[in-house]
């Protein structure tokens, strides 16, 4: 696909008719694929990207499902109203011309979407016109066009080719699996075709079983089908009508809130940016001081006091050990003395033992026992003072040791933390006193409070609707399971058994295809990330789970790198690398349109994108930038790859944007075609 031009008439900031040539002009387009748009914030860059999506997808141009009323209100709002027209403008038009190759033949498509306000301001009348190779298509319907454009680039995938800095931020901040990204990966890699075939086979099987089921099952089947249809209708009502309406109102309240926050910022920057954070930090430190004091008190109520009298504690431990040893030796002595007496008594009772032998035996026993009946020298004068049991003695010793080796260290560490926290609390309290008074911003705060209450009510209603959807979905699962049981009883038919076998084969094929495609994708993403990173060859590989599409990064030491450990710039590059890898792996020849992608990157990462990504992203790259993103230095690096430039200039007097074929610094544009 190659976008040749876009035409805007009375759309957004663009007054009158504006035609922009978007096809690369170089004799070798691949060498200069970039069309660079420059414009300051509010000049109409995002409006241009929005217009492209609107002309292609109509009501489905946004990822939020709009009601017809919301869509009409949006179209009416996008009609230019600069205030300088003699008569009010009541219509707008967007047109796009592009080449697309299908079945080996290239055709030129011209698509025009226009709308006007009906008489007496009773809604919007929208018209869609399509021409192929200069011949107008008759009776074109929105559904016909939707089916055609979905075959080229489905709306949910367009955000991977037509994206802005916010889209990159959203992908980068996804710490867990992203369902939308997973669906996009499946479609880009062609995996959804197999899943659609499986779904179609299931529909066929269910219809066949329904027509051939027994009477009782058939009656119940009809009842379940009716209930399932009703539940699906209820879910669709919530998701397509009620929730979009609530979310549109929420978006409006959020816009109002941001506007009032801007006013608040103007009234007192320090108050807005620092007061709440300082107050929160002060409360946090106060709680930390209180917690540390309580913990120190708790330690002091335990064994810590023993640390304050180490000499007494040592003497106590020594006395416990001495008394324990004294008791042990006393018990041994008493036992030996008892055994000696028993042995001598037993010897007297031995018959026919002559007196001389008996006397020698007794002397031998007495000589052996006598040394063991004496206490060791250091225990001769021991005095029992404590008289503790063995259990109490061991417990007391453990308490003394714990106080000396653990509690003392713990209290010391806690004291240091308390000293640090107390100092920080004192400093932040002083800082708090420097913040301006609230009187000058109190009215704005009151408005913000009301807006937040209204947003809260809308969020509660959104939550209630989502909970209701969950209830409907659970009921739907219950009835679908019952339907599956009915289906299981009907599996005797040969044709349906074949369907089951085909599904098994498709499951195996889908798994192998998924593994094969994800292997290609992870190599492409790893190469893209290393190419973009200022750290060079940072990653050895990227693993993508073929079932969940969860991504894990690995360095050259085979250590996994949690995504949260990446810097904010590296997270942005990860998102861009994922988008780039998907585009490469899919093989779809689609243009890439990027709106303000550099705002959150440092200079090194910006240079890598300028030199390594933009020239290689696609055969056609439409880049929308401010003068602070692609500045003079980066423009000089990018210029060899640029086909031509446009400068979007907003005129405050006419409240409209004009277009000139140049970049911010015309003197540097001379080498462009």
321-360 pLDDT per residue, tens? 777 777 877 888 788 888 888 888 888 888 777 888 878 8
Tokens found for residue 349: 């009772």
Q: Tokens 């446009």, residue?
A: 646
Report the 10 Å Cβ neighbour count for 298: 11
* Cα 246 from Cα 468, distance rounded (Å): 14
Give the model's pLDDT for residue 507: 80
Q: CB-hemisphere CA count at 13 Å for 333? A: 14
**How much is the pLDDT for 63?**
64
pLDDT, averaged across the chain: 79
Please report how many Cα atoms fall inside a 13 Å half-sphere around the Cα of residue 398, on the Cβ side. Answer: 6
More confident residue, 97 or 42: 97
Closest CA to 42 of 651, 662, 562: 651
Structure confidence at residue 20 (pLDDT): 94
Cβ atoms of residues 438 and 268 within 8 Å: no
pLDDT score of 565 more than 80: no
Distance of alpha carbon 3 from alpha carbon 591, whole angstroms: 7
- 316 CB-side CA count, 13 A: 17
What percentage of residues in the chain have a pLDDT greater than 90? 8
CA 487 to chain centroid: 40
Give pLDDT, residue 10: 92
Residue-range domain boundaries for the chain = 215-268+436-489, 303-404
Give the residue-averaged pLDDT of 43-68: 83
Nearest CA-CA partner of 97 in 56, 144, 150: 56
- 288, 424 contact by CB (below 8 A): no
Planar angle of CA 621, 622, 627, nearest 5 degrees: 120
Q: Choose among 281, 287, 295: nearest CA to 413.
A: 295
Confidence of residue 671 (pLDDT cuts 50, 70, 90): very low
pLDDT of residue 494 exceeding 60, the answer is no
pLDDT at residue 558 in the model: 83
- Location of structure tokens 């991977």: 160
Write down the pLDDT at residue 8: 94
CA-CA distance, 619 to 4, in Å (whole number)?
13
Specify the residue for token string 């009907």: 490
Confidence tier at 254 by pLDDT (50, 70, 90) = confident
Q: In this predicted structure, what is the pLDDT of residue 177?
A: 43
Percentage of the chain surpassing pLDDT 70? Answer: 81
Residue 271: partners with Cβ closer than 8 Å, 6 or more residues away:
264, 435, 436, 438, 441
What gap in Å lies between CA 24 and CA 359, rounded to an integer? 127
Q: Cα–chain-centroid distance for residue 99? A: 37
| Mode of pairing for the β-strands spanning 135-136 and 124-132 | antiparallel
For β-strands 656-660 and 560-561, DSSP reports them as unpaired
| pLDDT (0 to 100) of residue 437 | 58
DSSP 510-569: HHHHHHHHHHHHHHHHHHHHHHH-TTSS--SEEEE-TTT--EEEE-TTS-EE-GGGS-HH
- Which helix or strand (DSSP H or E) is residue 241 part of? none
Confidence of residue 176 (pLDDT cuts 50, 70, 90): very low
Partners of 115 in the beta sheet?
A: 92, 126
In this prediction, residue 392 carries a pLDDT of: 79
Phi-psi region of 591 (alpha: psi -120 to 50; beta: other; left: phi over 0): beta
The strand pairing partners of 561, in sequence order, are 553
Q: Residues 71-91: what's their mean pLDDT?
A: 81
Find the helix or strand (DSSP H, E) in which 89 lies: none
What is the rounded average pLDDT of the residues 164-193? 62
pLDDT given at position 4 = 92
What does DSSP assign to residue 407?
I
Burial class, 622, CB count within 10 angstroms (exposed 0-12 / middle 13-18 / buried 19+): buried
146-160 average pLDDT score:
71
Give the mean model confidence (pLDDT) for residues 425-445: 69
Is the pLDDT reported for residue 273 higher than 60?
no
Least confident of 121-135, 166-180, 389-403, 420-434: 166-180
Neighbours of 239 (CB within 10 A): 14
What share of residues in the chain are helix, strand, coil (percent, to 5)? 60, 15, 25
Q: Is the pLDDT of residue 7 over 90?
A: yes
pTM over 0.85: no
* pLDDT of amino acid 108: 92
Cα torsion 395, 401, 406, 407: sign? positive
515, 149 in Cβ contact below 8 A? no
- Specify the pairing of strand 621-625 against strand 34-39: parallel
Alpha-carbon radius of gyration of the chain: 41
Given a contact cutoff of 8 angstroms between Cβ atoms, the answer to whether 154 and 551 are in contact is no
- Contacts by residues 339-343 (CB-CB < 8 Å, ≥ 24 positions apart): 339/369, 340/365, 340/366, 340/369
DSSP 593-647: EEES--TT--HHHHHHIIIIITTTS-SSEEEEE-TTTS-HHHHHHHGGGEEEEEE
Region 607-615 average pLDDT: 81
The tokens describing 301, both together, are: 């109520």
């Amino acid at each position: 696909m190659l976008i040749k031009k876009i035409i805007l008439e009375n759309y957004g900031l663009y007054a009158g008719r504006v035609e922009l040539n978007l096809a690369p002009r170089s004799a070798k387009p691949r060498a200069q694929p970039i069309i660079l748009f420059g414009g300051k914030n509010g000049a109409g860059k995002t409006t241009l990207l929005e217009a492209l999506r609107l002309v292609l997808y109509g009501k489905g141009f946004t990822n939020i499902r709009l009601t017809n009323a919301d869509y009409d209100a949006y179209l009416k709002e996008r009609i230019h109203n600069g205030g300088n027209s003699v008569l009010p403008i009541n219509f707008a038009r967007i047109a796009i011309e592009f080449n697309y190759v299908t079945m080996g033949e290239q055709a030129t498509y011209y698509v025009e979407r226009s709308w006007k306000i009906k008489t007496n301001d009773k809604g919007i009348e929208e018209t869609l016109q399509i021409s192929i190779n200069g011949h107008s298509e008759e009776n074109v319907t929105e559904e016909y066009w939707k089916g055609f454009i979905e075959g080229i680039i489905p709306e949910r995938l367009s955000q991977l080719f037509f994206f802005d800095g916010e889209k990159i931020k959203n992908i980068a901040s996804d710490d867990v699996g992203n369902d939308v990204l997973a669906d996009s990966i499946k479609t880009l890699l062609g995996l959804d075709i197999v899943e659609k075939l499986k779904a179609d086979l299931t529909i066929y099987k269910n219809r066949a079983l329904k027509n051939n089921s027994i009477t009782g099952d058939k009656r119940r089947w009809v009842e379940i089908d009716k209930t399932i249809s009703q539940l699906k209708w209820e879910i669709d009502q919530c998701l397509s009508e009620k929730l979009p309406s609530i979310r549109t109102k929420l978006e409006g309240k959020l816009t109002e809130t941001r506007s009032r926050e801007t006013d608040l910022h103007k009234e007192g920057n320090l108050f807005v940016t620092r007061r709440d954070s300082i107050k929160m930090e002060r409360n946090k430190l106060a709680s930390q001081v209180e917690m540390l004091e309580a913990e120190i008190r708790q330690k002091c109520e335990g064994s810590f006091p023993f640390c304050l009298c180490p000499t007494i504690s040592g003497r106590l431990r020594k006395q416990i050990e001495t008394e324990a040893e004294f008791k042990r030796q006393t018990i041994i002595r008493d036992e030996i003395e008892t055994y000696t007496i028993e042995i001598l008594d037993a010897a007297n009772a031995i018959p026919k033992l002559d007196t001389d032998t008996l006397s020698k035996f007794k002397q031998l026993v007495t000589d052996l026992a006598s040394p063991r009946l004496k206490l060791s020298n250091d225990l001769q004068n021991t005095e029992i003072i404590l008289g503790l049991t063995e259990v109490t003695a061991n417990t007391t010793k453990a308490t003394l040791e714990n106080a000396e080796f653990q509690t003392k260290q713990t209290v010391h560490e806690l004291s240091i933390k308390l000293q640090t926290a107390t100092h920080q609390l004192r400093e932040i309290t002083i800082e708090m006193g420097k913040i301006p008074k609230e009187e000058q911003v109190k009215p704005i705060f009151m408005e913000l409070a009301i807006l937040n209450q209204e947003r809260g009510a809308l969020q509660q209603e959104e939550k209630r609707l989502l909970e209701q959807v969950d209830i409907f979905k659970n009921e739907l699962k219950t009835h679908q399971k019952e339907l599956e049981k009915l289906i299981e009883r009907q599996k005797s038919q040969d044709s349906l058994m074949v369907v089951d076998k085909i599904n098994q084969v498709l499951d195996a094929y889908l798994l192998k295809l998924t593994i094969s495609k994800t292997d290609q994708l992870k190599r492409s993403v790893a190469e893209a990330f290393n190419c973009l990173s200022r750290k060079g060859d940072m990653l050895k590989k990227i693993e993508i789970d073929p079932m969940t599409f969860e991504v894990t990064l690995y360095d050259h030491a085979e250590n996994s790198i949690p995504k949260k450990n990446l810097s904010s710039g590296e997270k942005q590059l990860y998102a861009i690398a994922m988008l780039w890898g998907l585009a490469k792996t899919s093989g779809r020849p689609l243009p890439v349109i990027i709106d303000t992608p550099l705002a959150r990157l440092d200079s090194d990462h910006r240079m890598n994108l300028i030199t390594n990504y933009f020239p290689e992203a696609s055969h056609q790259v439409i880049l929308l930038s401010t003068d602070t993103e692609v500045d003079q230095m980066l423009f000089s690096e990018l210029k060899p790859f640029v086909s031509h430039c446009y400068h979007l200039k907003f005129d405050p007097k006419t409240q409209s944007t004009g277009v000139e074929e140049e970049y911010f610094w015309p003197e540097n544009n001379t080498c462009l075609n």
